[in-house]
Copies of this chain bind each other. A is one copy, B any other.
Amino acid sequence: MNQPALTKVKRLEGVLSPVVTPFRKDYSPDAERFVRHCKWLLKNGCSGLAVFGTNSEANSLSVSEKRSLLEKLVSGGVPAASLMPGTGSCALPDTIELTRAAVELGCAGVLVLPPFYYKGVLDEGLYRSFAEVIERVGDERLQLYLYHIPPVSQIGFSLELIERLLKKYPGIVAGVKDSGGIWSNTKAMLDAFAKSGFDVFSGSEVFLLDNMRNGGKGCITATGNINPGAIDKLYRNWKGADADKLQAGITATRKIVQKQRMIPALKASIAHFGNDPQWKTCRPPLVELSSAEETTLISELKASGFTMPGLAG
C-alpha cells in the first residue's frame, strides 16, 4: 500500500476528464472498464481525472459505490495524484464521507457540488454547508474545488460566496469548475480570484483558449472523455500562432457530440471506437442513444476525421 504523504498533492492543471462510468447489463458499476478508460485518458492527453462528475452519472451512484470505485482505481494503478473526484451531494454526511475518503486516498483534490435539492437557498446556507464539510473533514491536505453548474444543479456560487469561502479557507478552497456556459461569469471569477491562488477551470473546451488567456488553469470537459489529445494540444500551445485554429477544431468536434444527449453520446463513441458495445449502458434515469441517433453521431464524427487512437486495444 502506498501511504499518501501528509502534505498537499501538487495541484492539477490542464485537461481533466469527468470520466464516464461504465455499467454492466445489470447497471452495476464496472470497475475493470473504468480503470482501463482512466488509463487510456491519462495516456492520451488528460493530466487529471475528474471522476464522479456530472458526465460520470455520479449522482446516480451511492456513496459506497463511489468509495469502492475510487479504491479500485488507485489499487488498479491510476495515480491518486491525478484524481479530482466529485464528492458533493444533497446530504451533508454523504459529502463529508466521500471527501474524507478522497483525501485519505491521496487524491489531488475534490470537486464539490453545492447541495442541490433545495432551490433558492441563501448564500449563508451554502457557506455553512461548505464550512461544515471543510471543518469536519479537518485535513490540511484537502484541496476543494467548487463545482458551478447551474444548468443542472440549479444552485450556483455567487462571487460573494466564493470570496467568503476563500477568505476563511485559503489554500483549501483551491478553485472552481465553471460549467455555467456563460463566459462572462468565468471571466468575472478569473478577474476576482485568479491572482489569489484560485484555479479556474472552464467547464467546456469551447472556452479553453479564453480561459488560458485570462489566467485560467485548463478545462474539465465532457468531451475530454473521447477527444483528450486534441484538447490537450491546444492547452499546451495556447500561446502559439495556431491556437485559434486548434480551438476551432475542438469546438467543431464538441458541436457534433452535443447535438445528441451528451452522456449516452460519449458512451456510444467509446463503445464504437473501442469496439466494446457494453459501454453504451447508462444507469436510469439516463437512456442510451437510439440506433438512429448513434448512426448520426458516429458518421458525423468519422466524417470530421475524428479518431480515438489505441482505444480498441
Query: Per-residue CB proximity of A145-189 to B under 8 Å, as 1/0?
Result: 000000111110000000000000000000000000000000000
Q: A240 on the interface (CB 8 Å rule)?
A: no
Q: Which of B63, B90, B125, B285 contacts A125 (CB 8 A)?
A: B285
Q: A252 on the interface (CB 8 Å rule)?
A: no
Whether B118 pairs with A286 at a CB distance below 8 angstroms is: yes
Whether B152 pairs with A284 at a CB distance below 8 angstroms is: no
Q: A60 on the interface (CB 8 Å rule)?
A: yes
Whether B151 pairs with A118 at a CB distance below 8 angstroms is: no
Q: A122 on the interface (CB 8 Å rule)?
A: yes
Q: A65 on the interface (CB 8 Å rule)?
A: yes
Residues of B within 8 A of A119 (CB): 151-152
Whether A122 pairs with B287 at a CB distance below 8 angstroms is: yes
Q: Which of B91, B118, B124 contacts A152 (CB 8 A)?
A: B118
Bound CA span A154–B116, Å? 11
Bound CA span A65–B91, Å? 10
Residues of B within 8 A of A132 (CB): 27, 284
Bound CA span A27–B133, Å? 12
Q: A25 on the interface (CB 8 Å rule)?
A: no
Bound CA span A228–B118, Å? 24
Q: A93 on the interface (CB 8 Å rule)?
A: yes
Q: Which of A218-242 contact B (CB under 8 A)?
A: none
Instruction: Take A132-B284, A286-B125 as given contacts and tell me if A27 and B92 are in contact as well, using a CB distance cutoff of 8 Å.
Output: yes
Q: A62 on the interface (CB 8 Å rule)?
A: yes
Q: A94 on the interface (CB 8 Å rule)?
A: yes
Q: A8 on the interface (CB 8 Å rule)?
A: no
Instruction: Name 18 A/B residue pairs within 8 A (Cβ), A-sorted.
Output: A27-B132, A54-B117, A59-B91, A59-B117, A60-B92, A65-B93, A89-B90, A92-B284, A115-B285, A117-B153, A118-B285, A121-B286, A121-B287, A124-B287, A125-B282, A126-B284, A129-B285, A155-B285
Other than the known A60-B115, A118-B152, what 18 A-B pairs have Cβ atoms closer than 8 Å?
A59-B117, A60-B92, A60-B117, A60-B118, A61-B91, A62-B63, A62-B91, A62-B97, A64-B93, A90-B90, A92-B284, A119-B151, A122-B285, A125-B282, A126-B284, A126-B285, A128-B284, A128-B285
